């Protein structure tokens, strides 16, 4: 059984339409093509859909023939590994990831290779280093190709935000906020990545003294679900609002909350 056939079986068991089954993780039209084996779905989007409908993941993969299952298993935590390698600047793990990726032949392989290429650039270059024109073009092309703003594309955007100027970031922010105008049915991991992107954008606005451009993003962040997972992001949103308003009392209070919760080191990284 293929991934598409397994998804179709689960959807019918749940008595859902294709649009409902897509769970706003991918577009209904793309989901339809996955079911009909016309497109391959990347593993993060697949797992997000399964999670959204409380489908048992091991049981699902047991239905899939061994070759497909192996490919998906190898990429199960690909993007999380990319982020871990970036934070730890681990060239050995990066080399291992590159070797593993050569075994994968899915339709999203170019996007995954791009992540590794970008990761290599960020690890080996200084913070203000500029991407080559060719690599920038590849990145833009892949992000637009991933215009459904999947979990994978959102994570790679979060990782690469510093390579864009503020106008470019503002364009992408508008695209994301338009796509996720309502969080009903959206996977919580996607919501959390979006919240992290919003905070990164606010930090960029502060660095560029562009406070007016931050208002829509701050309002959007405030309206995100009242979930404890998002508490720190919402608090950081208020922190940047206080920075923009030069509200020293609010800044002190928020900094103290982080300190009381044990984040003394983190608070040193925030602008004052």
- Confidence at residue 249, expressed as pLDDT on a 0 to 100 scale: 93
From residue 159, give the alpha-carbon distance in Å to each of 125, 150, 164, 197, 247. 15, 14, 11, 9, 30
Question: Where does the pLDDT of residue 154 fall: very low under 50, low under 70, confident under 90, or very high at 90 and above?
Answer: confident
Residue 73 has pLDDT above 70, yes or no: no
Entry pTM: 0.58
What does 58-76 look like in DSSP terms, one character per residue?
A: HHHHHTS-HHHHHHHHHTT
Percent of the chain's residues with pLDDT above 90: 25
> Rounded CA gap, 231 and 136, in Å?
34
Higher pLDDT, 155 or 74: 155
Question: Where does the pLDDT of residue 172 fall: very low under 50, low under 70, confident under 90, or very high at 90 and above?
Answer: confident
Residue 146 has pLDDT above 80, yes or no: no
40 DSSP assignment: P
> Rounded CA gap, 154 and 177, in Å?
12
- Confidence at residue 16, expressed as pLDDT on a 0 to 100 scale: 93
50 DSSP assignment: H
Burial class for 241, CB neighbours closer than 10 Å (0-12, 13-18, 19+): buried
Options 1.20.1290.10, 1.10.260.40, 3.40.50.970, 1.10.3720.10; CATH of 3-73: 1.10.260.40
Distance, first Cα to last Cα, the chain: 56
Q: Where are the domains of the chain?
A: 3-73, 77-163, 172-272
Higher pLDDT, 156 or 53: 53
Task: Answer whether 154's CB lies under 8 Å from 193's CB.
Answer: yes
Scanning the chain, the segments in alpha helix (DSSP H) are: 3-14, 18-22, 28-35, 43-52, 57-62, 66-74, 78-88, 91-101, 109-124, 133-145, 151-160, 166-179, 188-207, 215-222, 231-245, 248-260, 264-267
- Confidence at residue 70, expressed as pLDDT on a 0 to 100 scale: 46
Q: What is the pLDDT of residues 32-49, one digit of tens each?
A: 988 988 877 877 788 889
- Confidence at residue 257, expressed as pLDDT on a 0 to 100 scale: 92
Higher pLDDT, 66 or 13: 13
Question: Where does the pLDDT of residue 102 fall: very low under 50, low under 70, confident under 90, or very high at 90 and above?
Answer: confident
Residue 72 has pLDDT above 70, yes or no: no
Burial class for 104, CB neighbours closer than 10 Å (0-12, 13-18, 19+): middle
> Rounded CA gap, 139 and 201, in Å?
18
Question: Where does the pLDDT of residue 145 fall: very low under 50, low under 70, confident under 90, or very high at 90 and above?
Answer: low
Give the number of other Cβ atoms within 10 Å of residue 143's Cβ: 19
Which of 16-20, 138-142, 148-152, 182-186: highest mean pLDDT?
16-20
Give the number of other Cβ atoms within 10 Å of residue 25's Cβ: 27
- Record the tokens describing residue 194, joined without a space: 């979006």
> Rounded CA gap, 115 and 93, in Å?
14
- Confidence at residue 111, expressed as pLDDT on a 0 to 100 scale: 74
- Confidence at residue 237, expressed as pLDDT on a 0 to 100 scale: 93
- Confidence at residue 106, expressed as pLDDT on a 0 to 100 scale: 65
Q: What is the mean pLDDT of residues 221-240?
A: 91
Task: Answer whether 68's CB lies under 8 Å from 3's CB.
Answer: yes
């Amino acid at each position: 059984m293929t991934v598409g056939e397994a998804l179709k079986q689960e959807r019918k068991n749940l008595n859902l339409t294709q649009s409902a089954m897509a769970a706003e993780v991918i577009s209904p039209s793309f989901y339809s093509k996955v079911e009909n084996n016309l497109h391959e779905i990347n593993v993060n989007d697949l797992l997000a859909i399964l999670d959204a409908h409380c489908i048992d993941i091991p049981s699902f993969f047991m239905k899939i023939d061994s070759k497909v299952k192996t490919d998906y298993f190898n990429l199960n935590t690909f993007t999380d590994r990319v982020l871990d390698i970036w934070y730890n600047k681990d060239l050995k793990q990066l080399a291992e990831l590159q070797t593993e990726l050569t075994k994968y032949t899915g339709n999203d392989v170019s996007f995954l290779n791009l992540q590794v290429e970008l990761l290599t650039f960020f690890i080996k270059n200084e913070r203000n280093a500029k991407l080559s024109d060719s690599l920038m073009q590849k990145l833009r092309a892949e992000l637009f190709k991933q215009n459904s703003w999947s979990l994978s594309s959102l994570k790679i955007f979060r990782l690469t935000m510093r390579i864009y100027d503020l106008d470019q970031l503002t364009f992408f922010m508008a695209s994301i906020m338009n796509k996720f105008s309502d969080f009903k049915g959206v996977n919580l991991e996607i919501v959390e990545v979006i919240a992290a992107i919003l905070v990164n954008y606010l930090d960029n606005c502060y660095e560029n003294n562009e406070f007016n451009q931050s208002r829509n993003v701050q309002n959007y962040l405030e309206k995100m679900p009242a979930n404890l997972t998002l508490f720190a992001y919402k608090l950081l949103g208020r922190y940047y609002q206080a920075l923009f308003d030069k509200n020293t009392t609010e800044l002190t209070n928020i900094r103290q909350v982080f300190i009381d919760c044990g984040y003394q080191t983190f608070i040193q990284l925030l602008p004052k």
